[in-house]
Structure 1
Amino acid sequence: MHSQINRITDILRRDDGISGAMHYTEQISWILFLKFMADFEENRKIDAEMDFKEYTYTIAEEYRWQIWACPKNEEGKIDTKNALTSDDLIAFVNNKLFPYLQGFKDTNANEKAIEYKIGAVFEVLANRIQDGGNLREILNLVDSLQFQNNDDLFELSKVYENLLQGMGSDGGNSGEFYTPRPLIKAMVEAVNPQIGNKIYDPSCGTCGFLIESYEYIKAKNTKDKQLNLSTDEMKFLQTESLVGIEKTPLSYAMGLMNMILHGIEAPNIVKANTLTKDIRQIQESQRFEVILANPPFGGKENESIQSNFPITSNATELLFLQHILKSVKTGGKIALVLPEGILFQTNNAFAKVKESMLQDFNLHTIISLPSGVFLPYSGVKTNVLFLEKTGSTQQIWYYELNPPYKLTKNKPIQYDHFKEFLALLPTKATNENAWTVKASDIQNFDISAKNPTKQNQVALRSTLELKDLIKTKTERINDLVNEVFAVLEG
């Protein structure tokens, strides 16, 4: 499957309508999605027939893959006589197929239905491929892929993750599409979500946290390759457990497709601006057992958005933090990525939010991440905070993540880098990378990580270096003075 995707990318590179990894991913996405839907519907039809039921297709006959994209002859090969190509193919896709698929959202008011999700995906996508010959080649390649069993779907989901990672690596604003999966995996494992939990990401992007939670719960309930979940439990996991909100249209579309391609048939994802909700109105019944997030930072919000929060600030990250704290159930868990600035800033708004966080939540763990985790699109140093709504903070266990090399775009963070953290977390043991700070010792709500081992090492080294420096400078000064006297006497 990877080789076909690489060939498709090569074809797209020569098309005049395509530029950069974001366009590659966008175009491959809608084509893969329609092939997936075709196989999905055929599987559903077979299941219905086995139960002696008639299956009703979601996609009308004219717009099904096997009719417009790759019709087959009696030998099961692509019918080149009847398959659209060149300008006819582009005209059909632009003028008939996309308007039809976009119309699903208008004709179905149930946001959880697959029809609504199809409409939501294609509402924000457009065909950018200009050459009908290129599109025909791509359709033929994708038609050779099969998504009819779990192994195929697993491979497809990994291919899609790689495409999304490519979008993130493209730099610029495309960083919003991708949080490094090793970081997500470690955060989910540390939080340990359970079947029956409602799991929330208020800025879900391409839904990495929700998908990893889904996979984690399934893996935890699988023994000898057998999934040990009841029908009701699996239905809840598929339709109710995973909840996300995403404002950016393309991120939303990619997230929906990512979840569907991972086997979550009707993702519970809403396209909206999370910060438009007045957090004072959030009731206990609207809260979640688990919140996992990497909220956007560095943005500025207007006064109408700020009015939805008790502690006003134009900093996006501070508003998201308040929303998250308000959205967790009593006894619930939170894991979120925050920029270093929030931890050490002590101005009025930042101090008030952190005061509330320490008083009303058990902020039990902070990972200090190294610089470079979010390269190439952001060099901001970040931390991961783990909280539970179980009472006030008594002490914070810090862990400083130290990969064996400097992180760069081509040498990214790996899951193995989190293994020591995950091993120490249950007991919160201390070593040269881990230490504990009592809440009573925190000054001015500065909760940034300050490794005492390294501070002591730096202090000792600085003293020795200073002694050598003074000696060297004194000798140099004496030499210069002697040179001056020699000139004057000379």
Structure 2
Amino acid sequence: MITGELRNKVDKIWEIFWTGGITNPLEVIEQFTYLLFIKGLDDNETQKESDAIFLGLPFEGIFPQDKQHLRWSKFKNEEPTVMYDIMANEVFPFIKNLHGDGESAYSKYMGDAIFKIPTALMLAKIVDGIDKLEIDNKNDNKGDLYEYLLSKVATAGTNGQFRTPRHIIDMIVSIMKPTPQDTIVDPAAGSAGFLVSSQQYLRNNHADLFLVQSLKEHFNNDMFYGFDMDRTMLRIGAMNMMLHGVDNPNIEYKDSLSEVNTDSEKYSLVLANPPFKGSLDYEAVSADLLKVTKTKKTELLFLALFLRILKKGGRCASIVPDGVLFGSTKGHKDIRKEIVENNKLEAIISMPSGVFKPYAGVSTAIIIFTKTGNGGTDKVWFYDMKADGYSLDDKRNPVEENDIPDIIERFDNLDKEVDRKRTEQSFFVDKSEIVENGYDLSINKYKEIEYEEVVYDAPEVILGRVKVLEDEIIKGISELEEMLRG
């Protein structure tokens, strides 16, 4: 989550867009993102130049010698009219053609990008505002900044999509621990938050992968896949990944649930927060998904999709609405049975309903499973998350209570969880009990609550206290009357 100071600076820039005539929130985000991207290119170039000088290595950047004036650090000091001319006629065409082959995700979604800031003075104000933002490239508060920008889009989208908070994404990635050999997909990628977090996790924990040529090529070209039907989000996602040093992420326009998506047993790790509340026509859905669960509900169809696109042994962590865990329709029961009986369901992490505020108050959980095709569910680990480090109201201010470190620690050491009681925050439930309960996966079905017996004083004791209080009140009234008469 971004700090109050950074939020105020972003709000001021947003106001400049608004008063300048750009009032569509997604257009603001798009133009804002282009400028953040242009600044980020220069920041990255400067860092790489410094590293090359320090190591005594030759350096060839993305800005040729005759294009140095296109760098943010150069043109930001120009007069507004000069800056505008450089931006509109040189910088913007330059970034649109960074990957000139037309095949990269970046090229595909920048092709129809349009520079819409109407005046030189407005551009100068926005550039000055962005230049004063304290964006930490190492800790990626760019992701939190995107999150805040996206929160300004009034409500969840028409298909029920909404943006996943960065700290929840990072928790899921830390739990799943991507490896350098993984092929990672998010079939409802949005701004590519899960993919960005995954690449950062790999950089932090497997830096040696860049020393092995085959792993480095896999990282840059074949590791990350993201699909979405919102071209603005695809543009933001492509820029996001490129800024984070992934040369050629496979970010594509695709309706993941349709017949167009023919992926099968292709990926080793699914990380997703698919759209909730969506309802599709059967004709629009891939037939093999309907065989698993005959339903129009997108949240169930996406689970069927995950099972299809994962390789044997592939893992999945997906956010689902609570209804998926206990819904009583045949579609709900069929998909839960498929995961429990024919694959290995590992964990259900229940999250509080305030996690997705301010855009939604829906209660959600994280479902974690491994595709086996032949069962393997033995015990399922449940965790009742009560706090995520932020207040659970619309303000989402930082608070001390935070279960996330505990969740990661306990998931890493599940062997120590075996003897935990149902009255505790996490515990195991045997598969047989889940089957007996109609494959109900809601934690409340299995959680036990300890009630403390409250012992009250005898009625005559309570009555005695009331009499004492009454005597004190009458005495006080008498003293007041004396004072008034005196």
- The answer to whether TM tops 0.5 is yes
Residue among 435, 442, 447 paired with 1:448: 442
In structure 1, the partner of 2:31 is 27
SS for the counterpart of 2:353 is coil
Say yes or no: does 1:417 pair with 2:403: yes
Give distance in 2, aligned partners of 1:33 and 1:275: 31
Give distance in 2, aligned partners of 1:65 and 1:258: 23
SS for the counterpart of 2:314 is strand
Shift in alpha-carbon separation, 1:129–1:423, aligned structure 2, 3 A: same
SS for the counterpart of 2:156 is helix
1:110 Cα deviation from its structure 2 partner: 2.1
In structure 2, the partner of 1:138 is 126
Say yes or no: does 1:246 pair with 2:228: yes
Residue pair 1:372, 1:408 contacting (<8 A) in 2 also: yes
Give distance in 1, aligned partners of 2:348 and 2:14: 43
Residue among 133, 151, 155 paired with 1:168: 151
Give distance in 1, aligned partners of 2:450 and 2:175: 30
Q: Which runs of 5+ in 2 are unaligned?
A: 460-486
1:322 Cα deviation from its structure 2 partner: 0.6
Corresponding letter in the other structure for 1:417: D
Give distance in 1, aligned partners of 2:203 and 2:384: 30
Corresponding letter in the other structure for 2:285: Q
The TM-score, its normalising length taken from structure 1, stands at 0.74
Residue pair 1:102, 1:119 contacting (<8 A) in 2 also: no
Give distance in 1, aligned partners of 2:203 and 2:138: 13
In structure 2, the partner of 1:129 is 117
Shift in alpha-carbon separation, 1:365–1:69, aligned structure 2, 3 A: closer
Give distance in 2, aligned partners of 1:412 and 1:362: 37
Say yes or no: does 1:270 pair with 2:252: yes
Identity %: 24
Give distance in 2, aligned partners of 1:109 and 1:405: 42
Please, what is the CA RMSD of the aligned residues?
4.1
1:351 Cα deviation from its structure 2 partner: 1.6
- 1:385-404 correspondence to structure 2 within 5 Å: 385-390=367-372, 391-403=375-387
Q: Which runs of 5+ in 1 are unaligned?
A: 469-490
Shift in alpha-carbon separation, 1:256–1:343, aligned structure 2, 3 A: same
SS for the counterpart of 2:202 is helix
Give distance in 1, aligned partners of 2:328 and 2:91: 55
- 1:278-427 correspondence to structure 2 within 5 Å: 282-284=263-265, 287-308=266-287, 309=289, 310=291, 311-390=293-372, 391-403=375-387, 407-411=392-396, 416-425=402-411, 426=413, 427=415
Give distance in 2, aligned partners of 1:67 and 1:228: 30
Shift in alpha-carbon separation, 1:444–1:79, aligned structure 2, 3 A: closer
In structure 2, the partner of 1:480 is none
Residue among 425, 428, 449 paired with 1:433: 425
1:41 Cα deviation from its structure 2 partner: 6.7
Give distance in 1, aligned partners of 2:256 and 2:65: 35
Give distance in 1, aligned partners of 2:40 and 2:274: 30
Say yes or no: does 1:17 pair with 2:13: no
Corresponding letter in the other structure for 1:368: S
1:292 Cα deviation from its structure 2 partner: 0.9
SS for the counterpart of 1:289 is strand
Aligned residue pairs, count: 433
1:370 Cα deviation from its structure 2 partner: 1.2
SS for the counterpart of 1:232 is helix
In structure 1, the partner of 2:480 is none
